[in-house]
Amino acid sequence: MAALRRYRTVVSDSALWADFPFRAGDVVVSPPAKCGTTWMQMMCALLIFDKTEFDRPLTEISPWLDATTYDTAATLATLGSQQHRRFIKTHTPLDGLPFREDVTYLCVGRDPRDVMLSFENATANIHPDAMPPAGLDMQPPPPDQLDRFWLWANSDLVDDTSSFGVTLANLVNHVRTFWDRRDEPQVGLFHYADLKADLPGELRRLAQLLSIEVSDERIEELAAAATFDHMRGRADDLAPGVDAKLWRSNENFFRSGTSGQWRRLLDPVALDRYHRRVAELAPPDVADWLHRP
C-alpha cells in the first residue's frame, strides 16, 4: 500500500486520519473547500436518517475529523459513540485518506472560478474573533479582487500550515485524486452543477451508491429539504462552525449558491489566461468536467 500523502493547512492536518478506527459502512465526505461539503453532508443525513429534521446541529452529527481547530479527542469520542451509520467531513484529497473497500468516499467538484469567489465571500463572513488562529503570520491579500484571483490561480499546491490551502492547484489536485478512482464502487464523484440542475436525481444516485433503498416519492420529499433556500433558512443548525461562533452571520454562509458570478470579473483576455493556467494543472477531461455548464 502506498504511503498516504500528508496535507496540512492552517485549520487541518490529514495526519489525524492515520489511526482512525473505521467501521464498515462509514462514509467520508471529502470535497474541496466551497464545493458543496455541507450540501453533501445534508444529503447523507437525509438518506441515512430518513428524516428532514435532526436533533442536533449537522456539524455535531458529521464532524470534521482532521480539523485542528477542534479538540481531536472530543471529535473521536463523538464518532466512537455514534450508533448510526457515520458520515465524516474532511477536505483531504483521496490520496491522503486511508482507503478501505468497506468505506464510501464522496467528493463534489465545482467550477473553480465560482469556488474562488465563494471562498472570498466566506472569508469576509468570518467573525474577527474566530480566525485566523492567534499568532499566525499570514500575508494580507491584495486589495484588488482581480489581483487576488491571479494569486489564487497562479499559486502552487499548498500542503502546509501557511494558508487555508484554497488555490486552483489544490482544487484540481483534490478532484484528480477522485477522478482517477471514480470507477471504483466505493468512490462517488458529484458535480455542483448537477446538484443544482437535478437535486432529486443526484440524491437518488447517492442513495444507490450508499445502498439505501428509498422510493421516488420519498426522494422528492428529502430533496426538498436539501434545496439551497431551505438550508439557508436553517443556517443555525446546518452551517459549519456555528458551535465555534465562526461566522458574522450563519445565514450568510449560504450566501447565494449561484454560479457564473466570475463573468463580471474576467474579460476574454483574462479568461484565455485562466484556461492556459488550468491546462498546466489538469488534463483536458478533468478540465472539461470541472467547467461543465
Q: Is residue 55 part of a domain?
A: yes
* Residue pLDDT, tens place only, 264-293: 999 999 999 999 999 999 999 999 999 998
The full 3-state SS of 118-134, as one line of letters, equals: HHHHHHHHECCCCCCCC
Q: Is residue 243 part of a domain?
A: yes
Whichever domain contains 88, its CATH number is 3.40.50.300
**Residue with cell string 489564487:** 152
Q: Is residue 2 part of a domain?
A: no
Of 84, 91, 127, 174, which is the active-site residue?
91
pLDDT above 60 (res 10) = yes
| Pairwise CA distance, residues 122 & 176, whole Å | 24
107 phi and psi, to 5 degrees?
A: -135, 150
Q: Is residue 41 part of a domain?
A: yes
| Pairwise CA distance, residues 247 & 228, whole Å | 18
Average pLDDT over residues 82-86: 97
99 phi and psi, to 5 degrees?
A: -110, 120
Q: Does residue 191 carry a catalytic annotation?
A: no
- In the chain, the number of structural domains is 1
| Pairwise CA distance, residues 153 & 162, whole Å | 17
pLDDT at 122: 58
Please state the length of the chain: 293
Instruction: Note the Cα 225 to chain centre separation in Å.
Output: 19
In terms of residue numbers, what domain contains 187?
A: 8-290
